[in-house]
Amino acid sequence: MNSNSQLGVSVDCVVFGYNGDSIKVLLIQQKTQDGGTITESELQMALPGDLVQAEETLSQCAARVLLELTSIEGIFLKQFHSFGDPDRVRGVKDEKWLETFREFPNKRIITVAYYALVSLHEYNPEASSFAGSIQWVDVDKVPELAFDHNEIFRYAVTTLRQHIEPHHIGFELLPKKFTLSQLQHLHELVLDKKLDKRNFRKNVKRMDHLVPLEEKQTGVLHKPAQLFTFNPEAVI
């Protein structure tokens, strides 16, 4: 069996960000190639990802992918599913993109997917490696992506909705200090439904990991609200 027919393993990352108004996902755009055959109209967008190197664990690869492709490091990462359809590379555009940076672009690749969470108040990633550019795109405005990345993205959204309340991960999307209104708004966006304000506040105030601060908002036109922070050590 030659190296072109063997299986390969990659990692793809779905990076969710919150800016106080909307949930976004980070996408990379294909690089233009000097003297290549890819035109501007053929450039595709995709989730950040790369092949796993021989000396890496999957989680190390995920961290490297985000650092090399987006300049992001030290953020929350969680593995959520694997994707192994033999036809994951489905079109001519996909093949052309892979030809620009992979030795064996036609090799079958199984990918392990991670989702990541960042507060957009604290991160401003820059494109690097083989990413031509990067964009934060609203989760409800994601375009047709390369490969099977729309399927991976949709699965990540479903997983985020399932995890946000029982796993207390929403705090990863918030600034270090936040109001209860910001916390509720985030949950409503992720769950795609309105939550009763009174019940929500009663429930979250029972949580040991929600820490009230002796501080209030500043620079707001309305009555400043109390600020809270998250204590991860209190989560069981």
Same domain, 142 and 186: no
Same domain, 103 and 125: yes
Same domain, 147 and 71: yes
Task: Give yes or no for a contact between 69 and 48, defined as CB atoms under 8 angstroms apart.
Answer: yes
Does residue 90 form part of some domain? yes
Write down the pLDDT at residue 141.
96
How does pLDDT run along the chain (236 residues), one tens digit per residue? 444 557 889 999 999 999 999 999 999 887 665 545 555 566 788 999 999 999 999 999 999 998 887 788 889 999 999 999 888 876 667 777 776 767 776 788 899 999 999 998 877 776 666 666 888 999 999 999 989 999 999 999 999 999 998 998 999 999 999 999 999 999 999 999 999 999 999 998 888 889 999 999 887 778 889 999 998 877 65
Residue-range definition of the domain harbouring residue 190:
176-234
CA 47 to chain centre: 8
Write down the pLDDT at residue 3.
47
Same domain, 98 and 134: yes
Does residue 168 form part of some domain? no
Write down the pLDDT at residue 127.
66
Same domain, 141 and 180: no
Does residue 220 form part of some domain? yes
CATH number of the domain within which 53 lies: 3.90.79.10
- On the CB side of 216, CA atoms within 13 Å amount to 8
Does residue 2 form part of some domain? no
pTM comes to 0.87
Does residue 171 form part of some domain? no
Among 136, 163, 190, the domain boundary falls at: 163
Does residue 51 form part of some domain? yes
Give which of 12, 2, 30, 19 is closest to 134, Cα–Cα.
Answer: 30
CATH number of the domain within which 187 lies: 1.10.10.10
Same domain, 140 and 104: yes
- Angle 84-156-183 from CA coordinates, rounded to 5°: 165
Does residue 147 form part of some domain? yes
Among 122, 142, 163, the domain boundary falls at: 163
Same domain, 44 and 156: yes
**Cβ partners under 8 Å of residue 232, min gap 6:** 171, 209
Same domain, 83 and 117: yes
Same domain, 159 and 197: no
Same domain, 225 and 121: no
- On the CB side of 9, CA atoms within 13 Å amount to 13
Same domain, 207 and 122: no
Containing H/E element for 9?
strand 8-18
Q: Which amino acid is at 1?
A: M
The Cα 78–Cα 113 span in angstroms is 8
Among 137, 163, 189, the domain boundary falls at: 163
Residues 87-118 as b/e (b if ≥16 CB within 10 A, e otherwise) read ebbeeebbebbbbeebeebebbbebbbbbbbb
Counting the structural domains of the chain, the total is 2
Does residue 3 form part of some domain? no
Which position has the token pair 């946000």?
164
